[in-house]
Amino acid sequence: MRVVIAEDSVLLRAGLTKLLADGGFDVVDAVPDAEHLLHAVAEHRPDLALVDVRMPPTHTDEGIRAALVIRHQYPAVAVLVLSQYVEERYATDLLSVRTSGVGYLLKDRVAHVSDFLDALRRVAAGGTVLDPDVVAQLLVRRRTDPLDRLTPREAQVLRLMAEGRSNSGIVDALKVSHSAVEKYVSSILAKLDLPHTDTDHRRVLAVLKFLRA
């Protein structure tokens, strides 16, 4: 079974490559971002693409958008998406194209090696594999407030933004890196459906949504 892996973390990419090779898979390419993923799929036409949801340059939804392109342009290629936590909107988008040959798992599941490899085989064979946490969230009432899409950490960052703190101020408050804060802010803006415009400041619009809530 031929597989392309897309994961921006060098260590995790190497670990997945070895894990799959030891499990009998043929990893034909392992790439760090969505652009290289699409090139690899076009070149190799693998049986399966294993894709991280968040990849460079913004670490928001590049992976899932590339997965959707693969689903549309290369229907014979199965897709299994790995995410750090449940993204209901992304899971729904992925399943809306076609429910066969698709999977959505949390990265924690990789630790259960035999189950993880079995999930890959089932997806490649045309099956559907969904993480239990994803299923649980999809079964509850669909959320109507975009703020509910935020993770607890993202909500915390948005509260600090509403207090008027800059990225540097958020770094000091949360004791995290500047790059981590930039990723949180990018994710918040994406989840609140705030596209780039020439006239509106997205950070201000995000704070306004928070204050209205």
The residue with greater pLDDT, 163 or 185, is 185
pLDDT interval class at 140 (50, 70, 90): low
Helix residue spans in the chain (DSSP H): 10-22, 34-44, 62-73, 88-97, 113-124, 132-139, 152-162, 167-174, 178-191, 202-212
- Average pLDDT (196-201) is 59
- Average pLDDT (22-40) is 96
Is the model's pLDDT at 133 over the cut of 60? yes
Q: Are 8 and 32 in contact (CB under 8 A)?
A: yes
- Average pLDDT (75-99) is 81
Q: What is the per-residue pLDDT for 99? A: 73
pLDDT interval class at 174 (50, 70, 90): very high
Q: What percent of the chain clears pLDDT 90, i.e. is strictly above it?
A: 46
- Order of strands, edge to edge, in the sheet holding 48-52? 26-31, 2-6, 48-52, 78-83, 102-106, 128-130
pTM of the full structure: 0.64
Helix residue spans in 58-177 (DSSP H): 62-73, 88-97, 113-124, 132-139, 152-162, 167-174
Q: What is the per-residue pLDDT for 56? A: 86
Is the model's pLDDT at 141 over the cut of 50? no
Q: What is the per-residue pLDDT for 51? A: 96
Is the model's pLDDT at 72 over the cut of 80? yes
Residues 6 or more apart whose CB falls under 8 angstroms from that of 147 comprise 155, 158, 192, 209, 210, 213
